A and B are shown apart, each in its own frame.
Chain A
């Protein structure tokens, strides 16, 4: 019984890693109606920037904030230079651009920062784990951070005019312009915010899985799956979906099909869920105008 509990808790911890990237994906989707496949690599790159700052002597929280600012600006710049010109092009061209970004960030990170595994510091103290060793302080801390970000994102979209403007710009750019929303600026803002959330995710993930240029490769699929499982239009859904992915993966691997098929099983489960609830657990079906 203790084993099952342990697997579940461990799954929640791993799942909140996925959930943090899922949040970034949801943010990008709500702001631009596109999924940025390069989100994971951008987060990884931001984490390296943070590490460089820390190794240069900047204290942790200072590096944290600086990295957020850097990522925000970088996200906006990317949107302006890369995505804006492709706005009128077919959707596939943007996806091609995302793939290109993914390749560039991954390769460049390896070239600049090398492939050696790097430990990344945690702000939550490296002290003894809690709950009889089932959860480390950092895992608890990062789960808390994910929840804080989730709340912030939700509140932003729900209660602020800016959040509303952002969603409007993505959902209906033509009408938004008519009411005076600067659509292009909103898209850039969305990208900046998503990049910043990604940076937070990266800095929370790195202490657990260690930092190397391929850190996000395994996370992205589960993050994507979690976001869709929960509903791509719902921040809460993204987090729930991500955490569920972690738990399902662990339970399937430990008790149902063994580690050799746990990836496949997790994905089959998602497919089954989506067949019954095509917009995800918390998602809303976007109605199509006839």
Chain B
């Protein structure tokens, strides 16, 4: 697909995504779509670390929590307007990611998985710790106000939050695409596929591995902040290990080494649990597990790779 073609597709997509829900969707559905965007950003962060960077991270939920709480604390204790919390959340989470990238250098594969898993498990406990209680609200959490549309635009809070989240999402997705196509992205993929060859060619492993974590954390942190603004509430229970596992599912379903995969993954994790519940009220978790396994069978590389394989076949047949 040519450069300008894909740009037109992107603009069209953005316009459709912005206008259609505004016209046709109810407040509740807009809320769901806002969550999809927030999760898509979070899964994108995960894709960067694992799909492109080749490093297993089972603790992306921790970064989501950091982003969410950063936004919440700024809004609640410092009266920072919601939009200004995003860059701060990005920076804070990015730095945490970089900091974690350092020990990640020494560990590979399973050991890294464990450390990140442990991080995700420890986050709720840390959030509840009494030293931080005054900031984090402890077990009670923090309630946030939903922002109103600015400049008196004729949009209700649900619509405005959706548009705002979508705008931020689009910007970050474009940034991610550029990142992946840039030298940094190529270096990451080289490290992922053939670390020894990459090193032999002068790619500085330690720098890029740490950078990966930083970027991955940043994207997920912004997703977390947006999610917190949309839901209007943060508490330690919202960020248990289940969140990290959910984001992992989103990555695998959508396609780990793909940017668009993050969107498919997010759609899956927001809508399929409801579908599972329709199928069975008694065992929705098991149904979700079955659907997950079926996807692994029929689209082991994720939806994105399935689609691109179809596209290739289609084009070859022409």
Q: Do chains A and B touch in the complex (CB under 8 A)?
A: yes
CB of A86 within 8 A of CB of B296, answer: yes
Q: Which of A25-45 contact B (CB under 8 A)?
A: 29, 35
Query: Given A271-B118, A275-B103: A103 and B288 within 8 A (CB)?
Result: yes
CB of B292 within 8 A of CB of A264, answer: no
Q: Which of A84-140 contact B (CB under 8 A)?
A: 85-86, 89-90, 92-97, 99-104, 106-108, 110-111
Answer whether residue B293 sits at the interface, using C-beta atoms and an 8 A cutoff.
Answer: yes
Taking CB as reference atom, which chain B residue is nearest A217? B241
Interface string of B286-310 (1 = CB under 8 A from A): 1011101101110011000000000
CB of B289 within 8 A of CB of A107, answer: yes
* Most chain B CB atoms below 10 A, which of A110, A271, A280: A271
CB distance from A273 to the nearest CB of B (A): 10
Categorize the interface residue count of chain B: 35 or more
Chain B hits for A141, CB < 8 A: none
Answer whether residue A179 sits at the interface, using C-beta atoms and an 8 A cutoff.
Answer: no
* Most chain A CB atoms below 10 A, which of B115, B130, B253: B115
Chain B hits for A103, CB < 8 A: 285-286, 288-289, 292
Taking CB as reference atom, which chain A residue is nearest B120? A221
Answer whether residue A178 sits at the interface, using C-beta atoms and an 8 A cutoff.
Answer: no
Answer whether residue A263 sits at the interface, using C-beta atoms and an 8 A cutoff.
Answer: yes
CB of B256 within 8 A of CB of A92, answer: yes
Partner of B107, one of A99, A111, A274: A274
Overall SS of chain A's interface: helix
Answer whether residue B239 sits at the interface, using C-beta atoms and an 8 A cutoff.
Answer: no
Query: Given A108-B286, A263-B122, A264-B126: A274 and B245 within 8 A (CB)?
Result: no
CB of A97 within 8 A of CB of B125, answer: no
A288 to B295, CA, bound (A): 32
CB of B50 within 8 A of CB of A92, answer: yes
A290 to B199, CA, bound (A): 12
Chain B hits for A92, CB < 8 A: 50, 251-252, 256
Answer whether residue B117 sits at the interface, using C-beta atoms and an 8 A cutoff.
Answer: yes
Stretch at the interface among A46-54, A64-72, A163-171, A224-232: A224-232
Chain A hits for B203, CB < 8 A: none
Taking CB as reference atom, which chain B residue is nearest A95? B252
Chain A hits for B249, CB < 8 A: 96, 99
Chain B hits for A225, CB < 8 A: 114, 118
CB of B293 within 8 A of CB of A270, answer: no
Interface string of B258-299 (1 = CB under 8 A from A): 000000000000000000000000111110111011011100
Number of interface residues of A (CB under 8 A): 43
CB distance from A33 to the nearest CB of B (A): 10
Answer whether residue B186 sits at the interface, using C-beta atoms and an 8 A cutoff.
Answer: no
CB of A89 within 8 A of CB of B196, answer: no
CB of A270 within 8 A of CB of B301, answer: no
Q: Which of A209-233 contact B (CB under 8 A)?
A: 221, 224-225, 228, 232
Answer whether residue B110 sits at the interface, using C-beta atoms and an 8 A cutoff.
Answer: yes
CB of A111 within 8 A of CB of B282, answer: yes
CB distance from B284 to the nearest CB of A (A): 7
Taking CB as reference atom, which chain B residue is nearest A285? B108
Query: Given A102-B289, A263-B122: A271 and B256 within 8 A (CB)?
Result: no
A108 to B285, CA, bound (A): 9
Partner of B122, one of A82, A94, A102, A264: A264
Chain B hits for A271, CB < 8 A: 103, 115, 118
Interface string of B109-128 (1 = CB under 8 A from A): 01101110111011001101
Answer whether residue B129 sits at the interface, using C-beta atoms and an 8 A cutoff.
Answer: yes
The 30 listed contacts between A and B (C-beta, < 8 Å) are A82-B293, A86-B296, A86-B297, A93-B252, A93-B300, A93-B301, A95-B248, A95-B252, A96-B253, A97-B293, A99-B245, A100-B290, A100-B296, A101-B293, A103-B286, A103-B289, A103-B292, A106-B286, A111-B282, A111-B283, A111-B286, A225-B118, A228-B110, A228-B111, A260-B130, A261-B125, A261-B129, A264-B122, A280-B111, A290-B196
Which A positions have Cβ atoms within 8 angstroms of B? 29, 35, 82, 85-86, 89-90, 92-97, 99-104, 106-108, 110-111, 221, 224-225, 228, 232, 260-261, 263-264, 267, 270-271, 274-275, 278-280, 288, 290
Known: A96-B253, A97-B292, A260-B125. 14 other contacts (CB 8 A): A90-B300, A93-B252, A94-B296, A97-B296, A103-B285, A104-B285, A106-B285, A107-B286, A107-B289, A111-B286, A261-B126, A263-B125, A267-B118, A267-B119
